[in-house]
A and B are shown apart, each in its own frame.
Chain A
Amino acid sequence: MNLLTLIPEILQDALWSGLAALGFAMLFNVPRHLLLACVLFGALGHATRTLLMGFGLAIEPATLIGATIVGFAGTYWANRLHIPSMIFTVTGAIPLVPGAFAYRAMIGILSVVSATPENGGDILVEASTNAIKTALLLLAIALGIAWPLLLFQRPKPVV
Protein backbone atom coordinates (compact mmCIF):
# COMPACT_ATOMS: atom_id res chain seq x y z
CA MET A 1 0.00 0.00 0.00
CA ASN A 2 1.10 3.53 -0.70
CA LEU A 3 2.51 5.48 2.22
CA LEU A 4 0.68 8.64 1.17
CA THR A 5 -2.77 7.03 1.34
CA LEU A 6 -1.93 5.70 4.80
CA ILE A 7 -1.06 9.07 6.34
CA PRO A 8 -4.61 10.31 7.17
CA GLU A 9 -5.46 6.93 8.62
CA ILE A 10 -2.31 6.91 10.76
CA LEU A 11 -2.97 10.42 12.05
CA GLN A 12 -6.53 9.54 13.01
CA ASP A 13 -5.24 6.40 14.66
CA ALA A 14 -2.66 8.37 16.63
CA LEU A 15 -5.37 10.77 17.80
CA TRP A 16 -7.64 8.03 19.18
CA SER A 17 -4.88 5.99 20.73
CA GLY A 18 -3.42 9.13 22.33
CA LEU A 19 -6.84 9.87 23.82
CA ALA A 20 -7.12 6.31 25.14
CA ALA A 21 -3.67 6.59 26.76
CA LEU A 22 -4.60 9.98 28.26
CA GLY A 23 -7.74 8.65 29.95
CA PHE A 24 -5.86 5.74 31.48
CA ALA A 25 -2.96 7.96 32.53
CA MET A 26 -5.43 10.08 34.49
CA LEU A 27 -7.00 6.96 35.96
CA PHE A 28 -3.51 5.91 37.12
CA ASN A 29 -2.93 9.40 38.59
CA VAL A 30 0.14 10.15 36.49
CA PRO A 31 1.74 13.51 37.47
CA ARG A 32 0.40 16.41 35.39
CA HIS A 33 3.68 17.32 33.74
CA LEU A 34 4.08 13.77 32.35
CA LEU A 35 0.59 13.49 30.80
CA LEU A 36 1.60 14.75 27.38
CA ALA A 37 4.45 12.27 27.18
CA CYS A 38 2.03 9.44 28.04
CA VAL A 39 -0.25 10.57 25.21
CA LEU A 40 2.69 10.56 22.79
CA PHE A 41 3.85 7.09 23.83
CA GLY A 42 0.29 5.75 23.48
CA ALA A 43 -0.01 7.27 20.01
CA LEU A 44 3.47 6.12 19.01
CA GLY A 45 2.87 2.45 19.83
CA HIS A 46 -0.52 2.12 18.22
CA ALA A 47 0.25 4.23 15.15
CA THR A 48 3.35 2.10 14.54
CA ARG A 49 1.20 -1.01 14.69
CA THR A 50 -1.37 0.43 12.27
CA LEU A 51 1.37 1.54 9.88
CA LEU A 52 2.98 -1.89 9.85
CA MET A 53 -0.41 -3.57 9.38
CA GLY A 54 -1.00 -1.19 6.46
CA PHE A 55 2.16 -2.61 4.90
CA GLY A 56 0.65 -6.08 5.19
CA LEU A 57 2.19 -7.32 8.44
CA ALA A 58 -0.04 -9.50 10.66
CA ILE A 59 -1.37 -7.97 13.88
CA GLU A 60 0.78 -10.09 16.23
CA PRO A 61 4.26 -9.13 14.93
CA ALA A 62 3.04 -5.56 14.40
CA THR A 63 1.98 -5.40 18.05
CA LEU A 64 5.31 -6.83 19.15
CA ILE A 65 7.19 -4.15 17.21
CA GLY A 66 4.88 -1.37 18.42
CA ALA A 67 5.24 -2.48 22.04
CA THR A 68 9.01 -2.82 21.62
CA ILE A 69 9.27 0.76 20.38
CA VAL A 70 7.17 1.96 23.35
CA GLY A 71 9.35 -0.16 25.63
CA PHE A 72 12.66 1.23 24.37
CA ALA A 73 11.55 4.85 24.01
CA GLY A 74 9.68 4.78 27.33
CA THR A 75 12.54 3.19 29.27
CA TYR A 76 15.05 5.60 27.75
CA TRP A 77 13.06 8.74 28.56
CA ALA A 78 11.97 7.53 31.98
CA ASN A 79 15.61 6.91 32.94
CA ARG A 80 16.62 10.32 31.61
CA LEU A 81 13.89 11.98 33.68
CA HIS A 82 14.68 9.71 36.66
CA ILE A 83 11.19 8.30 37.03
CA PRO A 84 10.00 4.66 37.14
CA SER A 85 9.85 3.42 33.54
CA MET A 86 6.44 1.80 34.01
CA ILE A 87 4.78 5.23 33.89
CA PHE A 88 5.55 5.52 30.20
CA THR A 89 5.55 1.87 29.21
CA VAL A 90 2.26 0.89 30.88
CA THR A 91 0.27 3.90 29.67
CA GLY A 92 1.91 3.58 26.25
CA ALA A 93 0.91 -0.08 25.97
CA ILE A 94 -2.72 0.52 26.99
CA PRO A 95 -4.00 1.32 23.46
CA LEU A 96 -2.54 -1.97 22.20
CA VAL A 97 -4.72 -4.04 24.56
CA PRO A 98 -6.79 -6.50 22.47
CA GLY A 99 -10.17 -5.63 24.00
CA ALA A 100 -12.29 -6.55 20.97
CA PHE A 101 -10.60 -9.94 20.52
CA ALA A 102 -10.98 -10.74 24.21
CA TYR A 103 -14.66 -9.83 24.05
CA ARG A 104 -15.29 -12.00 20.97
CA ALA A 105 -13.39 -14.89 22.55
CA MET A 106 -15.54 -14.65 25.68
CA ILE A 107 -18.84 -14.47 23.75
CA GLY A 108 -17.68 -17.27 21.45
CA ILE A 109 -16.73 -19.64 24.25
CA LEU A 110 -20.12 -19.09 25.89
CA SER A 111 -22.07 -19.62 22.70
CA VAL A 112 -20.48 -23.09 22.46
CA VAL A 113 -22.99 -24.06 25.16
CA SER A 114 -25.94 -23.51 22.85
CA ALA A 115 -24.24 -24.80 19.69
CA THR A 116 -25.90 -27.42 17.46
CA PRO A 117 -23.94 -30.29 15.84
CA GLU A 118 -24.07 -28.41 12.50
CA ASN A 119 -22.56 -25.08 13.54
CA GLY A 120 -20.68 -26.30 16.63
CA GLY A 121 -17.38 -26.75 14.78
CA ASP A 122 -17.44 -23.25 13.31
CA ILE A 123 -18.29 -21.61 16.63
CA LEU A 124 -15.53 -23.51 18.40
CA VAL A 125 -12.94 -22.63 15.77
CA GLU A 126 -13.87 -18.94 15.82
CA ALA A 127 -13.83 -18.79 19.63
CA SER A 128 -10.43 -20.49 19.78
CA THR A 129 -9.00 -18.20 17.11
CA ASN A 130 -10.04 -15.14 19.08
CA ALA A 131 -8.80 -16.59 22.36
CA ILE A 132 -5.40 -17.49 20.89
CA LYS A 133 -5.12 -14.05 19.25
CA THR A 134 -5.88 -12.38 22.58
CA ALA A 135 -3.25 -14.46 24.35
CA LEU A 136 -0.62 -13.84 21.67
CA LEU A 137 -1.26 -10.09 21.65
CA LEU A 138 -1.00 -9.87 25.44
CA LEU A 139 2.25 -11.82 25.27
CA ALA A 140 3.57 -9.52 22.54
CA ILE A 141 2.75 -6.44 24.66
CA ALA A 142 4.41 -7.89 27.77
CA LEU A 143 7.50 -8.99 25.88
CA GLY A 144 7.75 -5.73 23.97
CA ILE A 145 7.80 -3.51 27.02
CA ALA A 146 9.85 -5.83 29.22
CA TRP A 147 12.86 -6.58 27.07
CA PRO A 148 14.57 -3.19 27.06
CA LEU A 149 15.12 -3.86 30.76
CA LEU A 150 16.61 -7.25 29.96
CA LEU A 151 19.00 -5.82 27.41
CA PHE A 152 20.10 -2.66 29.18
CA GLN A 153 19.74 -3.25 32.90
CA ARG A 154 22.32 -5.88 33.60
CA PRO A 155 24.19 -4.34 36.51
CA LYS A 156 25.55 -6.40 39.33
CA PRO A 157 22.44 -7.23 41.38
CA VAL A 158 22.04 -4.67 44.15
CA VAL A 159 19.76 -6.77 46.31
Chain B
Amino acid sequence: MVNPFKPETVPSGRHKPPLNYEELRDVIDLALWAGQLLLQYGADTQLVEETIHRLGTGLGCDWMDILVSPNAVVITAHSGLDFRTKVRRVVSMTVNMTILTEVSAVTRRVIAGDIDRFELRKELLRISTLPRNYNRWMVVLMVGLACAAFSRLFGADWPVFIVTFFAAAGAMFVRQELQRHHFNALLVTIATAFVAGLLASAAPLLRLGEQPSLALASAVLLLVPGVPLINAAEDLIKGHLVTGIVRGITGGLLATCIALGLLLAMSLMGVNGL
Protein backbone atom coordinates (compact mmCIF):
# COMPACT_ATOMS: atom_id res chain seq x y z
CA MET B 1 0.00 0.00 0.00
CA VAL B 2 1.17 3.50 -0.75
CA ASN B 3 2.22 5.52 2.27
CA PRO B 4 0.28 8.77 1.88
CA PHE B 5 2.78 10.66 4.04
CA LYS B 6 5.58 10.01 1.56
CA PRO B 7 5.81 11.80 -1.74
CA GLU B 8 6.57 9.70 -4.79
CA THR B 9 10.16 8.78 -5.37
CA VAL B 10 11.94 10.64 -8.09
CA PRO B 11 12.73 8.76 -11.27
CA SER B 12 16.44 8.14 -11.55
CA GLY B 13 18.43 10.18 -14.00
CA ARG B 14 20.37 7.31 -15.53
CA HIS B 15 19.87 5.93 -19.03
CA LYS B 16 18.33 9.18 -20.28
CA PRO B 17 19.23 10.43 -23.73
CA PRO B 18 21.12 13.72 -23.36
CA LEU B 19 19.13 16.85 -24.18
CA ASN B 20 20.44 19.22 -26.81
CA TYR B 21 21.24 22.83 -26.01
CA GLU B 22 17.82 24.16 -27.08
CA GLU B 23 15.95 21.56 -25.06
CA LEU B 24 18.09 22.24 -22.03
CA ARG B 25 17.33 25.96 -22.34
CA ASP B 26 13.62 25.25 -22.47
CA VAL B 27 13.67 22.88 -19.51
CA ILE B 28 15.60 25.26 -17.26
CA ASP B 29 13.32 28.11 -18.23
CA LEU B 30 10.18 26.13 -17.39
CA ALA B 31 11.59 24.79 -14.12
CA LEU B 32 12.53 28.34 -13.10
CA TRP B 33 9.09 29.59 -14.00
CA ALA B 34 7.41 26.97 -11.82
CA GLY B 35 9.85 27.67 -8.98
CA GLN B 36 9.22 31.38 -9.25
CA LEU B 37 5.45 30.86 -9.05
CA LEU B 38 5.84 28.72 -5.94
CA LEU B 39 8.24 31.07 -4.15
CA GLN B 40 6.19 34.11 -5.05
CA TYR B 41 2.89 32.69 -3.81
CA GLY B 42 3.88 31.31 -0.44
CA ALA B 43 5.57 27.90 -0.71
CA ASP B 44 8.30 26.87 1.71
CA THR B 45 11.84 26.35 0.44
CA GLN B 46 11.67 22.56 0.48
CA LEU B 47 8.62 22.54 -1.79
CA VAL B 48 10.30 24.93 -4.24
CA GLU B 49 13.45 22.80 -4.42
CA GLU B 50 11.61 19.51 -4.78
CA THR B 51 9.25 20.79 -7.46
CA ILE B 52 12.08 22.24 -9.54
CA HIS B 53 14.06 19.03 -9.23
CA ARG B 54 11.10 16.84 -10.20
CA LEU B 55 10.17 19.03 -13.14
CA GLY B 56 13.74 19.17 -14.43
CA THR B 57 14.40 15.46 -14.14
CA GLY B 58 10.89 14.67 -15.38
CA LEU B 59 11.58 16.68 -18.54
CA GLY B 60 14.79 14.80 -19.29
CA CYS B 61 17.62 16.39 -17.28
CA ASP B 62 19.95 14.12 -15.35
CA TRP B 63 20.23 16.37 -12.33
CA MET B 64 19.26 19.83 -11.10
CA ASP B 65 21.32 21.92 -8.69
CA ILE B 66 19.09 24.47 -7.04
CA LEU B 67 19.75 27.51 -4.87
CA VAL B 68 16.65 29.10 -3.37
CA SER B 69 17.44 32.49 -1.92
CA PRO B 70 14.73 34.62 -0.28
CA ASN B 71 14.14 36.64 -3.45
CA ALA B 72 15.74 34.69 -6.27
CA VAL B 73 16.09 31.16 -7.62
CA VAL B 74 19.26 29.87 -9.28
CA ILE B 75 19.29 26.58 -11.18
CA THR B 76 21.94 24.57 -12.94
CA ALA B 77 20.45 21.87 -15.15
CA HIS B 78 22.69 18.95 -16.16
CA SER B 79 22.17 16.63 -19.10
CA GLY B 80 24.82 14.32 -20.47
CA LEU B 81 28.03 16.32 -20.56
CA ASP B 82 26.22 19.63 -20.90
CA PHE B 83 24.82 22.05 -18.34
CA ARG B 84 23.16 25.46 -18.19
CA THR B 85 22.68 27.89 -15.32
CA LYS B 86 20.11 30.60 -14.94
CA VAL B 87 18.96 33.05 -12.25
CA ARG B 88 15.48 34.39 -11.77
CA ARG B 89 14.48 37.18 -9.44
CA VAL B 90 11.26 36.85 -7.49
CA VAL B 91 9.76 40.21 -6.76
CA SER B 92 6.47 40.20 -4.91
CA MET B 93 5.53 37.92 -2.03
CA THR B 94 1.83 37.25 -1.62
CA VAL B 95 -0.18 34.14 -0.81
CA ASN B 96 -2.16 32.30 -3.46
CA MET B 97 -2.82 28.67 -2.65
CA THR B 98 -4.66 27.97 -5.90
CA ILE B 99 -1.43 28.59 -7.78
CA LEU B 100 0.49 26.30 -5.40
CA THR B 101 -2.08 23.55 -5.96
CA GLU B 102 -2.03 23.94 -9.73
CA VAL B 103 1.77 23.92 -9.97
CA SER B 104 1.85 20.77 -7.83
CA ALA B 105 -0.74 19.11 -10.07
CA VAL B 106 1.09 19.99 -13.27
CA THR B 107 4.36 18.71 -11.77
CA ARG B 108 2.73 15.35 -11.11
CA ARG B 109 1.56 15.20 -14.70
CA VAL B 110 5.07 15.89 -15.96
CA ILE B 111 6.55 13.15 -13.75
CA ALA B 112 3.90 10.72 -14.94
CA GLY B 113 4.86 11.57 -18.52
CA ASP B 114 1.39 12.87 -19.41
CA ILE B 115 2.61 16.19 -20.78
CA ASP B 116 5.78 17.36 -22.49
CA ARG B 117 7.57 20.68 -22.23
CA PHE B 118 5.41 22.40 -24.85
CA GLU B 119 2.22 21.56 -23.03
CA LEU B 120 3.88 22.47 -19.71
CA ARG B 121 4.57 25.95 -21.05
CA LYS B 122 0.90 26.38 -21.98
CA GLU B 123 -0.15 25.11 -18.55
CA LEU B 124 2.19 27.47 -16.68
CA LEU B 125 0.90 30.37 -18.75
CA ARG B 126 -2.66 29.40 -17.85
CA ILE B 127 -1.76 29.06 -14.14
CA SER B 128 0.01 32.40 -13.94
CA THR B 129 -2.96 34.22 -15.46
CA LEU B 130 -5.66 32.50 -13.39
CA PRO B 131 -8.20 34.97 -11.99
CA ARG B 132 -8.75 34.96 -8.23
CA ASN B 133 -11.37 32.49 -7.03
CA TYR B 134 -13.34 34.89 -4.94
CA ASN B 135 -14.86 38.22 -5.77
CA ARG B 136 -13.18 41.02 -3.80
CA TRP B 137 -16.40 42.01 -1.98
CA MET B 138 -16.87 38.43 -0.92
CA VAL B 139 -13.35 38.47 0.53
CA VAL B 140 -14.08 41.75 2.36
CA LEU B 141 -17.22 40.22 3.87
CA MET B 142 -15.62 36.92 4.87
CA VAL B 143 -12.44 38.44 6.27
CA GLY B 144 -14.62 40.79 8.34
CA LEU B 145 -16.55 37.80 9.63
CA ALA B 146 -13.35 35.85 10.32
CA CYS B 147 -11.93 38.65 12.50
CA ALA B 148 -15.29 39.00 14.24
CA ALA B 149 -15.23 35.24 14.88
CA PHE B 150 -11.79 35.72 16.45
CA SER B 151 -13.27 38.30 18.84
CA ARG B 152 -15.80 35.66 19.94
CA LEU B 153 -13.00 33.15 20.46
CA PHE B 154 -11.23 35.70 22.69
CA GLY B 155 -14.44 36.02 24.73
CA ALA B 156 -16.04 39.19 23.35
CA ASP B 157 -19.81 39.79 23.39
CA TRP B 158 -22.13 40.71 20.50
CA PRO B 159 -21.65 44.52 20.37
CA VAL B 160 -17.88 44.02 20.15
CA PHE B 161 -18.44 41.30 17.53
CA ILE B 162 -20.33 43.76 15.33
CA VAL B 163 -17.78 46.56 15.72
CA THR B 164 -14.97 44.11 14.90
CA PHE B 165 -16.79 42.97 11.78
CA PHE B 166 -17.13 46.49 10.37
CA ALA B 167 -13.61 47.50 11.40
CA ALA B 168 -12.00 44.43 9.82
CA ALA B 169 -14.11 44.61 6.66
CA GLY B 170 -13.31 48.31 6.24
CA ALA B 171 -9.63 47.63 6.81
CA MET B 172 -9.67 44.79 4.26
CA PHE B 173 -11.20 47.12 1.66
CA VAL B 174 -8.47 49.70 2.31
CA ARG B 175 -5.83 47.00 2.05
CA GLN B 176 -7.14 45.82 -1.34
CA GLU B 177 -7.16 49.37 -2.65
CA LEU B 178 -3.59 50.04 -1.49
CA GLN B 179 -2.33 46.72 -2.86
CA ARG B 180 -3.97 47.47 -6.18
CA HIS B 181 -1.83 50.59 -6.43
CA HIS B 182 1.35 48.65 -5.53
CA PHE B 183 2.27 50.51 -2.37
CA ASN B 184 5.11 49.15 -0.27
CA ALA B 185 3.97 46.11 1.76
CA LEU B 186 5.05 47.59 5.09
CA LEU B 187 3.24 50.84 4.33
CA VAL B 188 0.08 48.93 3.37
CA THR B 189 0.23 47.07 6.69
CA ILE B 190 0.64 50.26 8.74
CA ALA B 191 -2.19 52.02 6.89
CA THR B 192 -4.52 49.03 7.15
CA ALA B 193 -3.85 48.58 10.87
CA PHE B 194 -4.43 52.32 11.31
CA VAL B 195 -7.84 52.13 9.61
CA ALA B 196 -8.78 49.00 11.58
CA GLY B 197 -7.73 50.77 14.79
CA LEU B 198 -9.73 53.91 13.96
CA LEU B 199 -12.91 51.95 13.23
CA ALA B 200 -12.51 49.54 16.16
CA SER B 201 -11.97 52.46 18.57
CA ALA B 202 -15.74 52.90 18.37
CA ALA B 203 -16.11 50.03 20.86
CA PRO B 204 -14.05 51.56 23.73
CA LEU B 205 -15.23 55.11 22.94
CA LEU B 206 -18.91 54.16 23.09
CA ARG B 207 -18.23 51.76 25.99
CA LEU B 208 -19.75 48.83 24.14
CA GLY B 209 -19.66 45.40 25.73
CA GLU B 210 -17.65 44.02 28.63
CA GLN B 211 -14.18 44.03 27.04
CA PRO B 212 -14.28 46.67 24.28
CA SER B 213 -10.51 46.50 23.70
CA LEU B 214 -10.98 43.04 22.16
CA ALA B 215 -12.37 44.83 19.09
CA LEU B 216 -8.97 46.50 18.62
CA ALA B 217 -7.10 43.22 19.13
CA SER B 218 -9.31 41.27 16.71
CA ALA B 219 -9.79 43.80 13.92
CA VAL B 220 -6.08 43.82 12.99
CA LEU B 221 -5.78 40.03 12.82
CA LEU B 222 -6.39 40.04 9.06
CA LEU B 223 -2.84 41.39 8.77
CA VAL B 224 -1.15 38.66 10.83
CA PRO B 225 1.81 37.40 8.77
CA GLY B 226 0.88 33.76 9.31
CA VAL B 227 2.34 32.35 6.11
CA PRO B 228 5.79 34.04 6.38
CA LEU B 229 6.10 33.01 10.04
CA ILE B 230 5.03 29.40 9.52
CA ASN B 231 7.27 29.10 6.45
CA ALA B 232 10.11 30.60 8.52
CA ALA B 233 9.64 27.89 11.14
CA GLU B 234 9.49 25.11 8.52
CA ASP B 235 12.55 26.41 6.69
CA LEU B 236 14.57 26.71 9.90
CA ILE B 237 13.59 23.23 11.05
CA LYS B 238 14.48 21.68 7.69
CA GLY B 239 17.85 23.40 7.56
CA HIS B 240 17.14 26.19 5.06
CA LEU B 241 18.50 28.74 7.49
CA VAL B 242 18.95 31.72 5.16
CA THR B 243 15.40 31.73 3.79
CA GLY B 244 14.09 30.87 7.26
CA ILE B 245 15.78 33.84 8.91
CA VAL B 246 14.70 36.23 6.18
CA ARG B 247 11.10 35.06 6.32
CA GLY B 248 11.14 35.35 10.12
CA ILE B 249 12.39 38.92 9.88
CA THR B 250 9.75 39.70 7.24
CA GLY B 251 7.06 38.38 9.58
CA GLY B 252 8.49 40.31 12.53
CA LEU B 253 8.58 43.54 10.52
CA LEU B 254 4.98 43.11 9.41
CA ALA B 255 3.92 42.44 13.01
CA THR B 256 5.74 45.60 14.15
CA CYS B 257 3.92 47.54 11.43
CA ILE B 258 0.58 46.25 12.71
CA ALA B 259 1.46 47.51 16.20
CA LEU B 260 2.60 50.86 14.81
CA GLY B 261 -0.57 51.47 12.79
CA LEU B 262 -2.80 50.40 15.65
CA LEU B 263 -0.98 52.63 18.16
CA LEU B 264 -1.20 55.64 15.85
CA ALA B 265 -4.96 55.15 15.59
CA MET B 266 -5.36 54.62 19.34
CA SER B 267 -3.40 57.71 20.31
CA LEU B 268 -5.33 59.76 17.75
CA MET B 269 -8.67 58.55 19.10
CA GLY B 270 -7.54 58.85 22.73
CA VAL B 271 -8.20 55.19 23.56
CA ASN B 272 -5.97 53.66 26.22
CA GLY B 273 -6.49 50.09 25.02
CA LEU B 274 -6.93 48.09 28.21
* Interface set of A (CB-CB < 8 Å, partner B): 13, 16-17, 19-32, 34, 46, 75-76, 79-80, 82-84, 86-87, 89-90, 93-95, 97, 99-100, 102-104, 106-107, 110-111, 138, 141-143, 145-146, 148-150, 152-153, 155, 158-159
Q: Check if B98 sits within 8 Å of A29, measured CB to CB.
A: yes
B240-274 contact mask (Cβ, 8 Å, vs A): 1 or 0: 00000000000000010001001100000000011
Q: Check if A83 sits within 8 Å of B104, measured CB to CB.
A: yes
Query: Beyond the given A20-B149, A152-B6, could you list 12 further A-B residue pairs with CB under 8 A, ordered by the A residue number?
Result: A23-B146, A24-B143, A24-B146, A86-B227, A87-B100, A90-B226, A100-B154, A102-B217, A102-B255, A142-B230, A155-B9, A159-B50
Q: Check if B97 sits within 8 Å of A28, measured CB to CB.
A: yes
Q: Check if B96 sits within 8 Å of A29, measured CB to CB.
A: yes
Bound together, the chains give a CA A148 to CA B152 distance in angstroms of 30
Q: Check if B149 sits within 8 Å of A19, measured CB to CB.
A: yes
Please give the distance in Å from A93's CB to the nearest CB on chain B. Answer: 7
Bound together, the chains give a CA A90 to CA B146 distance in angstroms of 15
Do most interface residues of chain B lie in helix, strand or loop, or is the interface mixed?
Answer: helix
Q: A13-B153, A29-B97, A93-B230 are in contact. Are A79 and B139 (CB under 8 A)?
A: no
Q: Check if A90 sits within 8 Å of B153, measured CB to CB.
A: no
Q: A16-B153, A99-B218, A159-B53 are in contact. Are A110 and B100 (CB under 8 A)?
A: no
**Would you list the 3 A-B pairs with minimal beta carbon distance, nearest first?**
A23-B146, A142-B233, A152-B5
Q: Check if B145 sits within 8 Å of A19, measured CB to CB.
A: yes
| Interface membership of B113, Cβ < 8 A | no
Q: Check if B97 sits within 8 Å of A87, measured CB to CB.
A: yes
Please give the distance in Å from B236's CB to the nearest CB on chain A. Answer: 9
Contacts of A153 in B (CB 8 A): 5-7
| Interface membership of B205, Cβ < 8 A | no
Q: Check if A145 sits within 8 Å of B230, measured CB to CB.
A: yes
Please give the distance in Å from B258's CB to the nearest CB on chain A. Answer: 9
Q: Check if B153 sits within 8 Å of A17, measured CB to CB.
A: yes
Q: Check if B43 sits within 8 Å of A86, measured CB to CB.
A: yes
Q: Which of A19, A107, A138, A141 contacts B146 (CB 8 A)?
A: A19
Q: Which residue of B lies closest to A86 (CB)?
A: B44
Q: Which residue of B lies closest to A30 (CB)?
A: B97
Q: Which residue of B lies closest to A87 (CB)?
A: B97
| Interface membership of B105, Cβ < 8 A | yes
Q: Check if A159 sits within 8 Å of B64, measured CB to CB.
A: yes
B113-141 contact mask (Cβ, 8 Å, vs A): 1 or 0: 00000000000000000001110001100
Q: Check if A16 sits within 8 Å of B152, measured CB to CB.
A: yes
Bound together, the chains give a CA A82 to CA B227 distance in angstroms of 20
Bound together, the chains give a CA A149 to CA B146 distance in angstroms of 28
Q: Check if A84 sits within 8 Å of B217, measured CB to CB.
A: no
| Interface membership of B78, Cβ < 8 A | no
Contacts of B108 in A (CB 8 A): 82
Q: Which of B47, B153, B154, B214 contacts A84 (CB 8 A)?
A: B47
Contacts of A90 in B (CB 8 A): 226-227, 230
Q: Check if A100 sits within 8 Å of B217, measured CB to CB.
A: yes
Q: Check if B229 sits within 8 Å of A138, measured CB to CB.
A: yes
Bound together, the chains give a CA A26 to CA B98 distance in angstroms of 10
Q: Check if A99 sits within 8 Å of B6, measured CB to CB.
A: no
Contacts of A97 in B (CB 8 A): 221, 224, 226
B76-112 contact mask (Cβ, 8 Å, vs A): 1 or 0: 0000000000000000000111111100110010000
Bound together, the chains give a CA A155 to CA B6 distance in angstroms of 8
Contacts of A21 in B (CB 8 A): 146
Contacts of B150 in A (CB 8 A): 16, 20, 95, 99
20 contacts between A and B (CB under 8 A): A16-B149, A20-B147, A26-B134, A26-B143, A27-B142, A27-B222, A28-B42, A79-B5, A83-B101, A84-B43, A84-B100, A86-B42, A86-B44, A90-B227, A99-B150, A99-B154, A150-B237, A152-B6, A155-B6, A159-B49
